[in-house]
Amino acid sequence: MAAGMMYQSGPSRFQSTANMGGDDWLTAEHMTGTSIMAVEFADGVVIGADSRTTTGAYIANRVTDKLTPIHDRIFCCRSGSAAATQAVADVVAYHLNFHSIEMGEPPLVQTAANLFKEICYNNRDDLTAGIICAGWDEREGGQVYTIPLGGMLVRQPFSIGGSGSTYIYGYVDAAFKKGMTKEECLKFTAHSLALAMNRDGSSGGVVRLAAITKDSVERHVILGNELPRFYEG
């Protein structure tokens, strides 16, 4: 067993000896464990995420920004491998920018979502990326598209994702109402993410929100002590 390990090249040899005694953080990939969410409303979308990046159990970044701009009025929420999602978002942003210059008009959210899907589906065996693509365009207004692990694409009135989302399926199903205003959507997102961060070890830090409409992108941050508090027992 030990002799076999010596012949492996570079990184894997380091991994096999460095992992003795459970020092996960030396070798583990950066993961955005995460709770992410996006909600459509009449004039646009509200998106939100926590701010924790972990390497194993170590919190590598506690103020991460997981809401990444893809174009002026199109954002994505990233969950899964930090490296994979950053790389995919960069590629999509490049292609979308090029496409928008060619067409001479702002791109459709559906186009951005499809670009994400192409990459995530065709490279599904090599990627761990769960992405929610949301934004506003002239044709359809506010839209939310979810692209989970295997690379499927589906539009939803609201979407939750990341490891923390499993704890709030019941809450969001009970609390969601059609025809919410921007403020109601912001509150719904903040409450949901706070609950998820409370239960999920891989989610935490601050809640980052963004409201995307025709006119602007408003970004908010809710700090730890300002978060809504629930049952703590």
Partner 1 sequence: MSIMSYNGSAIVAMKGKDCVAIAADRRFGIQAQTVSMDFQKIFEMAPQLFLGLPGLGTDVQTVSNRLKFRLNLYTLRENRQIKPKTFMSMVSNLLYERRFGPYFVEPIIAGLDPTTSEPFVCSLDLIGCPMEPEDFVVAGTSSEQLYGMCESLWQPNMEPDELFECISQSLLNAVDRDALAGWGAVVHIIEKDKVTTRTLKARMD
Residues at the site binding partner 1, with contacts judged by CB under 8 A: 22, 24, 33, 50, 52, 54, 57-59, 62, 163, 167, 197-205, 224, 229, 232-233
Residue 35 or residue 100: which is nearer to partner 1 going by CB?
35
Q: Are 73 and 137 in contact (CB under 8 A)?
A: yes
Shortest distance, CB of residue 127 to partner 1, whole angstroms?
21
Query: Whole-number minimum distance, CB 103 to partner 1, in Å?
Result: 43
Q: What's the CA gap between 12 and 169, in Å, rounded?
A: 38
Between 54 and 79, CB nearer to partner 1 = 54
Q: How far is the CB of 104 from partner 1 (least distance, A)?
A: 45
Reported as type and span, the H/E element at residue 61 is strand 58-61
3-state secondary structure of 205: coil
32 noted as active-site residue: no
Who contacts 231 (Cβ-Cβ below 8 Å, separation ≥6)? none
- Other C-beta atoms closer than 10 Å to the C-beta of 55 total 17
CB of 197 vs partner 1, minimal distance in Å: 4
Please state, in angstroms and rounded to a whole number, the distance separating the CA atoms of residues 225 and 204.
Answer: 12
In the complex, minimum distance from the CB of residue 163 to partner 1, in angstroms, rounded to a whole number: 6
Q: Which is nearer to partner 1, 58 or 169 (CB)?
A: 58
Residue closer to partner 1, measured from CB, 201 or 216: 201
Q: Which of 17, 27, 32, 34 is catalytic?
A: 34
91-125 burial code (b ≥16 CB/10 A, e <16): ebbebbeeebeeeeebbbbbbbbbbbbbbbeeeee
Q: Which of 142, 148, 145, 113 is nearest to 129 (CA)?
A: 148
Q: Which is nearer to partner 1, 193 or 211 (CB)?
A: 193
Contact (CB, 8 A) for 154 and 24: no
For the chain, the farthest-separated pair of C-alpha atoms sits apart, in whole angstroms, at 65
Catalytic residue set: 34
